[in-house]
Amino acid sequence: MPRLTLPEPRTPDPMDAPVLRWGILAPGHIAGHWATALRQHTRQRLVAVGSRSPERAAEFARRHGVDRVHTSYEALVDDPEVDAVYVASPHSHHREHALLALGAGKHVLVEKAFTRNAAEARELVAAAAGVLLMEAMWTRYLPHTDVVRRVLEDGLLGQVHRITADYGVHAGLSPTHRLLDPALAGGVLLDLGVYPLSFASAVAGAAGLALRPTSVQAAGTLAATGVDAQVSAQIGYGTAQAQLFTSMLTASGHTAQVFGSLGRIEVDDRCYVPAGVTLTIGEATGTWDANSIHGYGGLSFQTAALATYAAEGRTDSPLLPLDETVTILETADDIRRQVGVVYPGES
Ligand SMILES: NC(=O)c1ccc[n+]([C@@H]2O[C@H](COP(=O)([O-])OP(=O)(O)OC[C@H]3O[C@@H](n4cnc5c(N)ncnc54)[C@H](OP(=O)(O)O)[C@@H]3O)[C@@H](O)[C@H]2O)c1
């Protein structure tokens, strides 16, 4: 079978990014992985942590070698030693916590899902005058995503007609887990489903398709608490359709594919961490998997990207502009409306 050579990613080494002084707002599960990735793969400085609990803040600071410990989020964002704040609280609180940090004039990296809904996202965009606000959709910044982007931009697949993406796990959660809690904007769509949604949007952008979906059809299964436990969606992007699936009920895999008139590209399983890709054009095939950073270490790429963009004086990410984040949340709103999930306080 003829061999294909895939384009190399243009992704900079996270070690090369200009240095910012970071503060973590909400030291939970992902914040721990983020801090480790920062330490192992970047020169970024994690200088402060802010928690609602003095014990959690102190314990996190000890574990990650952080000097400045704040027992309120307000004190963290007001810390003059902090240039940029990483918001790692539950989705329900991203709006409030990002507004705090923006109000203090800091650059802000907000965990995915950016906010509960598009209206909250628009509020943050309006508040981010003169600083860099970025959604921590880390897959956008991973090397394999740039390989896919280059394949699409170079037109190697011809006209793109179909996108598929899947993120399903058998989570086996305790009934009190935040993913099952409507008050914390739980549900699988905002937690895992945003990855397939963002992948489809990235492909649409790189392939020159309509960025705003032309149709959205969704079906889902709700958990006993009323949040979505499983969602499948068919999204139209002009002449292409995306089939997306996400679940906390079944381990359906974590793959993504793009099919065009000339061939297809597939991201290996675990497409949400640094992964390999396979390109097939007619009878010819080739793979790329030259990742030197693995697993959650990949969180370093988005963080280094923010530091680079801030040094360049940018106020928006070129790889995931805020307008696109808002559009993705509009699609998520539409899906939730069809599936029947409304969070407390939403109309
Ligand atoms: N990028 C990824 O791969 C990835 C993976 C997992 C999660 N995430 C995202 O990261 C965010 C946090 O998820 P997580 O799994 O890290 O959550 P988690 O372990 O529950 O941590 C969330 C933290 O938020 C703070 N918090 C503030 N208000 C809260 C409230 N009312 N209820 C509960 N916690 C509150 C808590 O910190 P203090 O009380 O100490 O202040 C808590 O430790 C979510 O947006 C999630 O989607 C991203």
> Which residue, chain included where needed, has tokens 């990483």?
86
**Residue 159: Cβ within 10 Å count:** 13
| CA 25 / ligand 1 centre spacing (Å) | 9
Name which residue sits closest to atom 20 of ligand 1, judged by CA. Answer: 28
| Probe target for ligand 1 pocket from 30, 142, 169, 248, with the most ligand atoms within 8 Å of CB | 30
Cβ contact 123:95 at 8 Å: yes
> 140-339: what CATH class?
alpha beta
Q: How far is it, in rounded angstroms, from Cα 38 to Cα 303? A: 8
pLDDT score, position 2: 85
β-bridge partners, 240: 237
**pLDDT confidence band for 67 (50 / 70 / 90):** very high
pLDDT score, position 126: 98
Cβ contact 333:118 at 8 Å: yes
| CA 3 / ligand 1 centre spacing (Å) | 44
pLDDT score, position 207: 97
Convert the pLDDT of each residue in 137-187 to its tens digit. Answer: 999 999 999 999 999 999 999 999 999 999 999 988 999 999 999 999 999
* Stretch 59-86: mean pLDDT: 98
Nearest to 211, CA basis, from 200, 220, 222, 221: 200
| CA 178 / ligand 1 centre spacing (Å) | 8
pTM given for the model: 0.98
Convert the pLDDT of each residue in 226-249 to its tens digit. Answer: 999 999 999 999 999 999 999 999
Half-sphere exposure of 163 (CA within 13 A, CB side): 30
pLDDT score, position 99: 98
- Identical fold between 14-138 and 140-339: no
Q: Which tokens sit at 35?
A: 């801090």
Q: How far is it, in rounded angstroms, from Cα 155 to Cα 262? A: 9
For the chain, the domains span 14-138, 140-339
| CA 336 / ligand 1 centre spacing (Å) | 21
pLDDT score, position 211: 87
Query: Residue 39 class from Cβ within 10 Å (0-12 exposed, 13-18 middle, 19+ buried)?
Result: middle
Q: What percent of the chain has pLDDT over 70?
A: 100
Half-sphere exposure of 173 (CA within 13 A, CB side): 20
Domain 14-138 coded CATH 3.30.160.40: no
Name which residue sits closest to atom 6 of ligand 1, judged by CA. Answer: 30
pLDDT score, position 269: 85
Separation of CA 66 from chain center: 25
Convert the pLDDT of each residue in 98-144 to its tens digit. Answer: 999 999 999 999 999 999 999 999 999 999 989 999 999 999 999 99
Query: How, if at all, do strands 160-168 and 68-70 pair?
Result: unpaired
Q: Is the pLDDT of residue 1 over 80?
A: no
Q: Is the pLDDT of residue 271 over 90?
A: no
Name which residue sits closest to atom 48 of ligand 1, judged by CA. Answer: 30
Which residues does the annotation mark as catalytic?
112
Spell out which residues line ligand 1, taking CB within 6 angstroms.
Answer: 26-30, 51-53, 56, 88-91, 93, 111-112, 138, 178, 184, 191
Cβ contact 140:320 at 8 Å: yes
Task: Work out the mean pLDDT of the chain and round it to a whole number.
Answer: 97
The atom number, within ligand 1, closest to the CA of 30 reads 16
Convert the pLDDT of each residue in 198-222 to its tens digit. Answer: 999 999 999 999 889 999 999 999 9
Query: How, if at all, do strands 45-50 and 21-25 pair?
Result: parallel
| CA 179 / ligand 1 centre spacing (Å) | 10
